[in-house]
Chains A and B, each alone.
Chain A
Amino acid sequence: MGARISQKIAKTLIWTIALTVIIILMAIIVFILYNGLRVINWTFLTEIPREMGQQGGILSPIIGTLTVTVLAVVIAMPFGIGTAFYLAEYTRGGAVTRIIRFCTESLAGIPSIVYGLFGLIFFVTTLGLGWSILSGGLTVAIMILPTIIRTSEEAIRSVPNIYREVSFTLGATKWQTIRKAVTPSAVRGIANGIILSIGRCVAETAAVMLTAGTVLTMPESIFSSSRTMALHFYLLAMEGTAMDKAFGTSAVLIILIFFINVVANALVNRFVSKGH
């Protein structure tokens, strides 16, 4: 009899714990969207902040987030994907590749504040790039590089080896095999890895705080400093002087990240459902 009772207890316990926790988690999003959506209007999205962000909109932080993210992805993508192809296709998985893979694994785990510290000293001061979108972009690029390498390499490795053999038997060279036989089935996995990295760039605060800087004015070029949305939200939330703008900024962030997930899922689902 004991088993049946423990089954009932366990089931109700799991139901209650899981439901309450997931509801609480979703309540966070609802709470922020509820308070934030009221603030979002055309001027909020098209005006630059004034009075330390207490007035005006969040146009320059939006531009800051987009430019830092695009710059980071544009820099990290070729190197990340190139390395992944090199590791997956051109090396024999010897000691060297294992070491490289372990390093990328650990570097992917390093806290972003350490990247921020490195970026501050290396890019901002030593290379003299100053607080700028370029410094922020470079720092975030190095931060997402290990992740892009790892996800891309997994995607390339998941391509069945028989495709490569078929391509070779049809007289293709290695480069043609990579381009025509491997890439088509690996591209979805690679793109998914990149889109998740974009999500991480958008949500980043520690690594951009003292590399991209905290300036609220409109950046003229990648050499001018600009505060990203996530950082703007953090500073407003800490100051506590402009709560409505803080809610608005976080609501915009959540919506942006939601769209990033939608695009990532659209890619993965077609990939997973076919392979699953």
Chain B
Amino acid sequence: MKNFKEKLSGRVFLTLALFSILALAVITIFILVQGAPVIGKHGFAFIAGTSWSPGNGEFGILPMIIGSVAVTLGAAVIGVPIGICCAVFMAEFAPSLMRTIFRPAIQLLAGIPSVVYGFWGLLFVVPFISNHLGGLGLSILAGSVILSLMMLPTIISISEVSIIVLPSTYKDGALALGMTHWQTIRSVQLPAAKSGIVAAVILGLGRAVGETMAVIMVLGNATAIPSSVLEPVRTLTTNIGIEMGYAEGEHRQALFATGIILFVIIMILNISAQYITRNKSKSLKIK
């Protein structure tokens, strides 16, 4: 009887694995099959085309690519330094009472729906930009601020952990050499925790690139190529979000093609993360 159960368990796990892999394969193949014809037919024009007007059969998503890159870069420029700074604060400077209050709060912030950040942006960030910097406020800047806020909890919590788990000998050794606390952090701990921080940043960027609903609220969704940070813009994800309800035929395939490009961007992010974290040891030079 025993080896019947043995064979059964092996089979059950195998079938469950096959089903999951099948499901994941179906979604990947479905996206590729639906999206490929448009890329095939329009080819480079699809990615380089500057005018997106499905009604007139024009499917150029360069403005959306620029939009996604601009918004994500903006979010990274704001979010990454601040995130690392907060992580260092939490790991090295924060008194324990503050840490016990902030840590669950940051974890909660990482969990709340992104549309809450979008809503908060709509109420405060957009009017602020409109009143003080001009334009209607719905802009790349607004999107970048919202996305950086969304990235912060992820970057802070993961970077903080990667600093804390560092062996204390790193810090003690540097301090023993007469380095100040800040020098220790800058030239010893941060390089050592680099792989964890990079992973956190990549994770945060991945979420920023993939965000849809919150940015629909604050970006203005214009399909023109923006000429300044204060102009409205549409990203790849908002393009799908706004139009997928009524897209038909080639228009729908163009949205799937947009999905493929998003898929490629995420893959690039993942691969670059693995690449950076792999040669971690080389980078640990004590300045």
Is any CB of A less than 8 Å from a CB of B in the complex? yes
Whole-angstrom CA separation of A254 from B111 in the bound complex: 8
Q: Which residue of A lies closest to B211 (CB)?
A: A111
Stretch among B52-60, B130-138, B180-188 lining the A interface:
B180-188
Distance of A203 Cα from B20 Cα, bound (Å): 23
Instruction: Provide the bound-state CA to CA distance between A203 and B16, in Å.
Output: 27
For A1-39 the 0/1 string (1 means CB < 8 A from B) is 001101100110111011101101110110110000000
- Cβ-defined contact, A206 with B13, below 8 A: no
Residue of B nearest to A200 (CB): B111
**A110-B210 contact, Cβ under 8 Å, with A25-B149, A205-B115:** yes
Whether the pair B112, A18 counts as a contact (CB closer than 8 A) is no
**Contact status B104-A265, CB under 8 Å:** yes
**Contact check: which of B14, B89, B115, B217 meets A15 at CB < 8 Å?**
B89
B16 contacts A83, C-beta separation under 8 Å? yes
Is A48's CB within 8 Å of the partner chain B?
Answer: no
B41 interfacial by beta-carbon distance below 8 Å: no
The number of residues on chain B lying at the interface, defined by a beta carbon within 8 Å of a beta carbon of chain A, is 83
Q: Could you mark each residue 10-28 of chain B with 1 if its beta carbon is under 8 Å from any beta carbon of chain A, else 0?
A: 1011111101110110111
Contact of A173 among B6, B104, B108, B153 (CB under 8 A): B6
A87: nearest chain-B partner, CB-CB: B17
Contact (Cβ within 8 A) A206 B241:
yes
The complex places the Cα of A112 from the Cα of B114 at a distance, in Å, of 12
- B211: which A residues are within 8 A, CB to CB? 111
As a 0/1 sequence over residues 167 to 182 of chain B, the CB contacts with chain A under 8 angstroms (1 = contact) are 0000000000001111
A246 to B149, CA, bound (A): 20
Query: B119 interface residue, CB < 8 Å from A?
Result: yes
B113 touches A174 (CB 8 A): no
B186 proximity list for chain A (CB < 8 A): 10
Say whether B46 faces chain A, with CB atoms less than 8 Å apart. Answer: no
Interface residue A230 (Cβ < 8 Å from any Cβ of B): yes
Q: Cα distance A19–B243 when bound, in Å?
A: 40
- Check A86/B13 contact, CB under 8 A, given A109-B270, A237-B119: yes
**Interface check B275, CB cutoff 8 A:** no
Least distance between A272 CB and chain B CB atoms (Å): 10
Q: Is the CB of A10 within 8 A of B112?
A: no
Is A253 in contact with B116, judged by CB distance below 8 angstroms?
A: yes
Comparing A55-63, A97-105, A159-167, A185-193, the segment that makes contact with chain B is A97-105
Which residues from chain A contact B128 at a C-beta distance below 8 Å?
A: none
* A260 and B118 contact, Cβ closer than 8 Å, known pairs A10-B182, A103-B24: no
Task: Determine, out of B225-233, B254-262, B278-286, the stretch whose residues face the partner at the interface.
Answer: B254-262
Across chains A and B, which 7 residue pairs bring their CB atoms closest together, nearest first? A82-B16, A111-B210, A18-B89, A86-B17, A175-B9, A203-B113, A7-B180
> Chain A residues in contact with chain B, CB under 8 A?
3-4, 6-7, 10-11, 13-15, 17-19, 21-22, 24-26, 28-29, 31-32, 78-83, 85-87, 89-90, 100, 103-107, 109-118, 120-122, 142, 145-146, 149, 173-175, 178, 199, 202-206, 209-210, 230, 233-234, 237-238, 246, 250, 253-254, 257-258, 260-261, 265
Q: A19-B89, A113-B241, A122-B30 are in contact. List 11 more A-B contacts (CB 8 A).
A: A6-B183, A18-B90, A83-B16, A104-B24, A109-B266, A174-B6, A178-B9, A206-B212, A230-B113, A230-B115, A261-B107
